[in-house]
Amino acid sequence: MELNCRHVWEFLSGYLDDTLDAAVREDVERHLAHCEVCSAILDSTRNILVLTADDRVFELPVGFSDRLHARLNELIGEEPASPDMTRPDPT
Amino acid sequence: MNDEAENRTELELIAAILGGQKHLYHALVRPVEKKIFMVVLAYVHNPSDAEDIVQEAFLDGYRHLASFRGEARFSSWITTIALNKARARMKRSAAHAEVSLDDAGDEDRAPAVSPALLRDWREIPSEALERNEVRTLIRQAVSELPESYRTVFVLRELEELSGEETAAALGISLALVKVRLHRARIQLQKTLAPALRSATEPHRKNRWPSWS
């Protein structure tokens, strides 16, 4: 089937996740092969997703990890991990 | 923690913790704590509330570790616990009394967003993220997504949950996860493609092709 650009945009996410039916995927690829605009949209979307998922983008509040593990320590020192866990910590 | 703990699989760690090596719970938490925080922050918006919720979720996770079935990953199990806590807190909050995040919001009925139109795209390398300006642009674009899109986006792209895991954690259908993820991605492309291109190619002239 001949897809226009708007159709292709609707399939972009499925194309990136490789969840499209084989026939649709083929139609999308045929369109991308000759449409520089849709190719650029696909490339930029893929690029932006990689950048967004990079660990450097989102940062934890200062001291977050220390506070979390300090609270965990309080609990781990006090309570067994499960009701049937009665053996002492071997370490 | 230590190398020995890092090399164990999740299920081995959990078995060891339940077997008495309680301190290994830290090693189970460390690799996932940042992702869980991001997810909760996307939901509640306030870093201090998000931190409280994440702490409580991991404390609950420890208390109920024996009931973890191992069918899901530890991170998606904790995500479900954390999001339940986030929902409960938002229900208590008068400001959000009218809002249920899992309902199909108005944005799901809105017409699809069109991407930013480009003639070409030059790959932006991840080294660009060394610049604070670039990181800020991306964080801002994500924070401006409609709430229901943002939560799905963060679970799928940042926490790397599967579509099924995301649907389960949010109590929505897989089809709705796909729609919201798609729209979030297109919205981000629309916002970020022009912004990142300008930010990373400040001296580029003649951005548009000449027709002569």
Assigned domain for A90 exists: no
Q: How many domains does chain A have?
A: 1
Task: Report pLDDT digits (tens) over B39-75.
Answer: 898 888 889 999 999 999 999 999 999 998 777 889 9
Considering only CA atoms, which of B1, B23, B62, B18 is closest in space to residue A91?
A: B23
Assigned domain for A3 exists: yes
Assigned domain for A5 exists: yes
Q: Predicted confidence band at A7 (pLDDT cuts at 50, 70, 90)?
A: very high
Task: Report pLDDT digits (tens) over B138-150.
Answer: 999 998 999 889 9
Q: Which of B30, B55, B119 to mutate to test the interface with A (most CBs of A within 10 A)?
A: B55
CATH number for region B123-200: 1.10.10.10
Amino acid type, B68: F
Assigned domain for A91 exists: no
Runs of H (alpha helix) within B64-209: 74-92, 106-109, 132-143, 147-153, 163-170, 174-200
Q: Do A82 and B20 touch (CB under 8 A)?
A: no
The pLDDT of residue B210 = 54
The pLDDT of residue B93 = 74
Q: Which two tokens stand for residue B161?
A: 């949950």
Q: In the predicted model, is pLDDT for residue A81 greater than 60? A: no
> How buried is residue B85: exposed, middle or buried, by Cβ count under 10 Å (0-12/13-18/19+)?
buried
Q: Which two tokens stand for residue B18?
A: 């339940």
Handedness of CA B74, B78, B79, B84 (dihedral sign): positive
Q: Predicted confidence band at B129 (pLDDT cuts at 50, 70, 90)?
A: very high
Q: In the predicted model, is pLDDT for residue B96 greater than 60? A: no
Q: Which residue of B has its CA nearest to A82?
A: B66
Q: Please give the residue range of the domain that contains residue A64.
A: 1-81
A80 vs A48: which has the higher pLDDT: A48
Provide the residue ranges of all domains of chain B, joining segments of one domain with +: 3-96, 123-200
* Side-chain half-sphere exposure of A60, counting CA atoms within 13 A: 17
CATH fold for the domain made of B3-96? Rna Polymerase Sigma Factor; Chain: A (1.10.1740)
Assigned domain for A86 exists: no
